[in-house]
């Protein structure tokens, strides 16, 4: 299983970069997790939009879904140019009916509701869900294939349930929108100390800090998280690739 970070900024993309988007590949299947602003342009450095096999969304804030519309039009145009472009499944929760409805577009994409209490199979990936602490309905994902596991927290304040959910994961892709001196609970986000504490308690193999803030020295996030977690810590960055 291979993870490639396409975008990692919280709220909006930094200059010439992208907000949340992560490409997972296994056995030739290509799954995009979240599709924020700038993701489509950046993703084309790796694969064309017509080559995606599926998309799954954690929630409907713009920094996680802004490029869904342009992805739909990219596949439409590639089909008009003669490429074989099958209907793309886009998985999302249906607790916001209006946003869920937008996932379906002509015969280009089809919105499919996932049920958070149930396992979901997408290609070779088995996905389980955990509702996060965020101002809107949002779901973390544990994505497993071939005995390996990547846990994506999506957007959330710290919650104890994450410990069991992320237990022994090979990669914890953890949001870190706040520095250690800040309290992100009301905003529905974690700080660096909380991300490190979660990684340590869940005994994960490595921690990737993502959904990063646009201010301060972001390298300090690693230093702060390392006071709680003794394993490998990396900052998410464009095209960072991890094979597990």
Domain ranges in the chain are 2-236
Question: In sequence order, which residues have a C-beta less than 8 Å from that of residue 84 and are 6 or more positions away?
Answer: none
Q: Say which CATH class 2-236 falls into.
A: alpha beta
Q: What is the mean pLDDT of each run of 10 residues along the chain (244 residues)?
A: 98 98 98 98 97 98 98 97 96 98 98 97 98 98 98 98 98 98 97 98 98 98 98 98 97
- Cα Rg of the chain (Å, integer): 17
pLDDT for residue 165 = 98
| pLDDT tens-digit readout, 194-231 | 999 999 999 999 999 999 999 999 999 999 999 999 99
pLDDT for residue 130 = 98
- Cβ–Cβ under 8 Å, residues 151 and 172: yes
- Cβ–Cβ under 8 Å, residues 1 and 146: yes
Question: In sequence order, which residues have a C-beta less than 8 Å from that of residue 204 and are 6 or more positions away?
Answer: 151, 166, 168, 169, 170, 171, 172, 231
pLDDT for residue 63 = 98
* Strand 21-26, strand 2-7: pairing: antiparallel
């Amino acid at each position: 299983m291979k993870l490639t970070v396409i975008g990692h900024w919280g709220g909006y993309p930094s200059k010439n970069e992208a907000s949340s988007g992560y490409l997972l590949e296994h056995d030739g299947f290509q799954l995009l997790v979240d599709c924020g602003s700038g993701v489509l342009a950046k993703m084309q450095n790796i694969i064309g939009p017509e080559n995606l096999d599926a998309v799954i969304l954690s929630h409907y804030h713009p920094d996680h879904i802004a490029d869904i519309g342009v992805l739909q039009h990219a596949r439409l145009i590639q089909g008009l140019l003669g490429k074989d472009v099958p209907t793309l499944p886009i998985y999302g929760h249906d607790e916001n009916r209006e946003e869920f409805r937008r996932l379906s577009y002509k015969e280009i994409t089809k919105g499919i509701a996932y049920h958070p209490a149930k396992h979901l199979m997408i290609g070779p990936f088995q996905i389980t869900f955990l509702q996060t602490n965020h101002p809107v309905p949002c779901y973390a994902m544990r994505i497993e294939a071939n005995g390996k596991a990547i846990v994506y927290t999506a957007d959330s304040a710290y919650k104890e349930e994450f410990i069991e959910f992320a237990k022994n994961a090979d990669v914890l892709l953890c949001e870190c929108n706040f520095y250690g001196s800040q309290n992100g609970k009301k905003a529905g986000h974690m700080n660096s100390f909380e991300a490190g504490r979660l990684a340590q308690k869940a005994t994960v193999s490595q921690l990737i800090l993502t959904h990063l803030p646009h201010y301060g020295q972001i390298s300090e996030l690693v230093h702060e998280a390392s006071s709680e977690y003794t394993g490998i810590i990396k900052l998410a960055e464009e095209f960072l690739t991890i094979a597990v």
